[in-house]
Amino acid sequence: MAKLGVTSLNRDVVDEAKGLRLQVLNMSLLVAVVVGGAAFVRTLIDAVERGAWTVLGGAVVMYTGALVLLLMKRLPYAVRALGFLALLYIVGVLALLAVGYLGAPILILAGQSVLASVFFGRRVTLIALGLNLLALLGVGAVLSTGLMAVETLDFYEPTVFMNWLRITALFAVFCGIAVVSVDVITNHLNQSLKDQAELIENLKGATQLRDAAETQRRNAEKRLRDSQQMPKV
């Protein structure tokens, strides 16, 4: 089926919204894989040096999962989007258990909540937000009661420059995803406004042509009636 023009009266707004969300998903996964590569490598090195195996496992799961979701574009949109959100949630919880609430875990869970609103809308966003809040309180209760202990706090030692490199890379990933998502949406909205303005102008022009044709028709009918009413010589 041919794709309808953006100024078509028969444009499918629902399909446009789905296409926009798919574009945001693909761009987010691309940023996670490309920009996140540096954070992934740096995290692997630091985790092995410090024996932080939970952090190591979370990094491997995150990067491998994002790469698979990026490449498996034949999967349904809902599967890929939910898979990405679930991936962020799992890695966020693992990071909370491993290093506490500092830095990356909060960034991951906050980014997941924002992406849920873009991918699915209000209902899924509220569910994601509720799960993230429960995860924060649940992990906080486990760590504060001594049932578990954080694996290492060396990941956030501010006097170690390599930690700053890793945090900068993680910030670039999630900030990049947020910026790309907003950019895709705002560009689409701006283009839609331009298209609607063009459509309105086209409708005005069509209306003026119709009115002119109607006026000509009426004048022609009037002249015809007048000619028929003239007395014959």
Segment 87-107, tens digit of pLDDT: 989 888 888 888 777 767 888
Q: Could you tell me where the DSSP H helices lie in the chain?
A: 13-34, 36-50, 53-71, 77-99, 104-119, 122-144, 161-229
Per-residue pLDDT, 12: 58
Tally Cβ neighbours within 10 Å of residue 119: 23
Domain borders along the chain are: 13-187
Structure tokens at 215: 């006026």
Q: Which residue has the tokens 């209000």?
A: 122
Which of 24, 18, 10, 9 lies closest to 1, judged by CA? 10
Q: What is the mean pLDDT of the chain?
A: 81
The alpha carbons of the chain give a radius of gyration, in whole angstroms, of 29
Would you say residue 208 has pLDDT above 60?
yes
Residue whose C-alpha is closest to residue 6's, from 136, 147, 191, 137: 191
HSE (side-chain half, CA atoms, 13 Å) at 46: 24
CA–CA separation, 43 and 167 (whole Å): 10
In this predicted structure, what is the pLDDT of residue 11?
A: 54
Q: Residue 51 — left, alpha, or beta (φ > 0 → left; ψ -120 to 50 → alpha)? A: left
Q: What is the rounded average pLDDT of the residues 189-200?
A: 75
Sign of CA pseudo-dihedral 168, 171, 173, 176: negative
Q: CB pairs under 8 A, 24+ apart, for 16-23? A: 16/188, 18/77, 20/184, 20/185, 20/188, 21/77, 21/81, 21/118, 21/119, 22/77, 23/184
217 alpha carbon, distance to own chain's centre: 54
The pLDDT of residue 230 is 60
pTM of the model: 0.69
pLDDT in tens, 22-72: 888 998 899 889 888 888 888 888 888 888 888 888 889 989 999 999 999
Alpha carbon distances (Å) from 233 to 224, 227, 228, 230: 18, 13, 13, 9
Is the confidence at residue 4, as pLDDT, over 50?
no
How much is the pLDDT for 9?
47
Q: What mean pLDDT do residues 132-142 have?
A: 90
226 vs 147 pLDDT, higher one: 147
pLDDT digits (tens, 9 = 90+) for 218-230: 777 777 776 766 6
Better pLDDT: 157 or 215: 215
Question: What angle, 0 to 180 degrees and rounded to 10, lies between the N-to-C axes of helices 77-99 and 122-144?
Answer: 20
